[in-house]
Structure 1
Amino acid sequence: MPTALITGANRGLGQALVRSFATDGWRVHACCRVPDKSLDLRRVAEAADGLVEVHRLDVTDDLQVRGLARSLEGEPLDLLFNNAGIYGPREGFGSQDFEAWAKVLQVNLLAPLRMVENFVDLVAASERKLIANMSSRLGSIAENRGGSSYPYRSSKAALNMATRSLAVDLEPRGIAVVALHPGWVQTDMGGEEAALTIDESVAGLRRVIAGLTIDESGRFFDYSGAELPW
């Protein structure tokens, strides 16, 4: 039975990914900051016949991350999906809250690296050996025509670079690492006017993940499988 660990699983894309993988027979470790308040996620777990285990995890808390890694020691992870992320301040040039920007970097950039460093041995011990970092097209330097969104854009651009470096460093262990753009999705972050439903995005992401091999490691794909420019 393949196993996945998914962060940011309390709502939106994360919760839908948990449900999708469990429906297909995967064992899923679903991580969120406050499980007691994540009632929808708990309902997903209850309906999954034991395939979903919910964990309390703040991805910016080093002790919590280390503790969860120790508790799962010996259990191979076919997929580590670093999904947790925040948008942060939306103010434009001249109105930056730099402390809030630093928080965005903590969640969107440093936390995925912390997760990989702590769980890499479990990924390496698995059959599929996949790491997916949820990025965004807004992190593409080549495609930036709109400006603004400095905290979010910079965090995802930096995550893309980290993804590329991880692909190089982990290739000897047979681990594939990719950055994924879910599309413009009808979530709390994307808004009601977004082009894609959550289920449409998740279905596309699942198809991309299913086709990944070490040959695709270090690349940046959207939910349709199209490769995006850095």
Structure 2
Amino acid sequence: MKILITGGGRGIGLELASFYAMRHQVSVTVRDERHANKVASLGARPLFLDLNQQQSINDLAKTLNGEAIDILIHNAGVLHPEGDLDEVDAFNFAHSIQVNALGPLLLTQALLPNLLAGQTRKLVFITSLMGSMSDNGAGSYYSYRASKAALNSVAKTLAVDLASDGVKVGIYHPGWVQTDMGGPRALIDVGTSVAGLTARIDELDETRSGRFLNNDGTPLPW
């Protein structure tokens, strides 16, 4: 299979790349050239992508023109920590929406011909339980919560709109993971998270498309 993973230079993305590169032909997007070397060492192909720039999305689509993609995994994301209302910043809020929600939508739009040329037609979004309205009992993190809620809405809508094309959409919370973003107090390590995520991706079919699931398969509230 041919797999494309965004944001694969570190953390969950790099672990996903490591898992799939042992089995399949994998391309991984990075924003930092230093991360490209780590990706290449796994046997995967590093590609540059900045989801904050439409031209970068267009350039990636040109690079991949004519290539089939069996699984497209949207993993790239950004978190601006806002402990309270006073820390909300307009630029950071817009940046979160662009990278975490609009960017994945525009990239899906640009790479849809590649996905339709693939055999499995799996479209995966690594989101967060922090995008859940029902589960929000802690507050704070305004831009991150809003952007992940927007991503969930985008992914669910794509599941509806692309169903007739045979595209299956996975919407997965990776857990609170011990990464640079999740921090050392997080509950699970990267290997545990990715083991669950890859199992969910493997079982993704028409009956599971468009569902919001934890990495262990537990249904989550919107």
Considering the TM-score relative to the shorter chain, is it more than 0.5? Answer: yes
Structure 1 vs Structure 2: percent identity of aligned residues?
38
Superposition CA RMSD, Å: 1.2
Deviation of residue 169 (structure 1)?
Answer: 0.8
What per-residue deviation string (whole Å, max 9, x for no partner) do you get for residues 115-170 of structure 1? Answer: 10011111111111011111101111111111111111011011101111111111
Tell me which residue corresponds to 2:5.
6
CA distance in 2 between counterparts of 1:75 and 1:139 reads 33
Q: Secondary structure at the match of 2:207?
A: helix
1:82 equivalent in alignment to 2:74: yes
What per-residue deviation string (whole Å, max 9, x for no partner) do you get for residues 40-84 of structure 1? Answer: x52442342xxx110111122211211211221221111111100
The one-letter amino acid paired with 1:29 is S
Where structure 2 has 5 or more consecutive residues not aligned to the other structure, the ranges are none
Alignment counterpart, residue 113 of structure 1, candidates 101, 105, 108? 105
1:42 equivalent in alignment to 2:41: no
Tell me which residue corresponds to 1:27.
25
CA distance in 2 between counterparts of 1:78 and 1:95 reads 41
TM-score computed with the length of structure 1 as normaliser? 0.93
Q: Secondary structure at the match of 1:214?
A: coil
The one-letter amino acid paired with 2:113 is D
CA distance in 2 between counterparts of 1:124 and 1:99 reads 35
The one-letter amino acid paired with 1:45 is A
The 5 Å alignment of 1:132-211 reads: 132-211=124-203
Tell me which residue corresponds to 1:65.
57
Q: How many aligned positions are there?
A: 222
CA distance in 2 between counterparts of 1:113 and 1:47 reads 28
1:93 equivalent in alignment to 2:92: no
Checking the alignment, whether the CA contact within 8 Å between 2:17 and 2:42 is kept in structure 1 is: no
Checking the alignment, whether the CA contact within 8 Å between 2:80 and 2:143 is kept in structure 1 is: yes
